[in-house]
Structure 1
């Protein structure tokens, strides 16, 4: 009797020292499954808004939206812009269950965060994954934000609290909505779990991509209203404004 499904393909071994780059299939030059050339060519986020990480033409600026309507969160931390090949890697991880790609991105994000912790970023008390709508969780079978948060937790030694937040409403998918529609779509969509300990804590929300920031704002406002002293956003990629060049 077999207790595991038969699988004749290559098994992905994360700790194997002889890794193959997941992007170009060439031999990687480190224990991480990405070669130096491909890592260098990733769309690293350059100058950006000091609050929401929106790509901007110069360093040290805050975008007009954050100046006019300061968000509830303190900082968005994202290594990349949402462009090729990061957009493809996130899509394959998120919608095709290519977990090795998600693990790779999480490890690179962890390295980026560790550098920021050593320079200018305050370490949070806990990592909080953005909860997924129940309908999409059933369809997809996993919450990509929760997987990223747990991988990050292991890499940067910050606890992950997956049970602090609840998704109370199955809202429509956000991708096709504009900023105003996204905000309306998320009204009353989230809640704290009964007995959640938030007061006095510095928390970091974890998600894959930040687009308009509507989800981040809704959750950060919920946490700040419950007594959190600070909320940051950690994500893989930040999108530019529609029509802006990356």
Structure 2
């Protein structure tokens, strides 16, 4: 992928402009006087860690969180901000970035727009990575022989043919890791009815993500039972969809012999 850019750097702000009117990315050092000319997607950073992603209107930028850098993305006219925010949040979640706040947004992206929004998100991520801001995981060069903290799993054709059964947290289901980037959840899956709440009665991060995934597939669910096969993107999404996460789903998918999906696929 090649992207042509125009870049202007000052002491307080870096402006990255995509060619052919494809949008502008601004990187602000923390200031109490950030003024936005138009609605944008924002990414808040505290000490080089992404803490929040959301949407802001034109005018003075205000946020209650403690941050010291703001990245704003003003996309091209054909990109819907709500959809772009969702794409960035999903990317962060899938890469285990803990966000302090997740805005309430409609998450159903029309099929006619998903390809365009996803492609634009990937371009912005590539540009941000080159400037030192990374949402995607990368394998670092091995400096020692220590094992990585997070287990890696490998998909195989053999595994794609195996049915795995789930019976945990008030949910029961049958699933297959049938393609490298797809989990097939068979019709008739029973879902946990209500999300668990935090001690203060609020919804936690996993509960919110589970609700959003359920909203995407609500036409295939009746009385907390799936009426059709559903395609999800990962083992993590299966857990969020069925029982709002809260456990290691690689250990919850078990075949007819009692062998977990983790045992089948973990890379030693």
Relative to its length, the structure with more helix (as a share) is 1
- TM bucket, shorter chain: under 0.3
Relative to its length, the structure with more strand (as a share) is 2
Name the TM-score, length of structure 1 as normaliser.
0.25
Name the TM-score, length of structure 2 as normaliser.
0.23
Give the structure with higher Rg (CA): 2
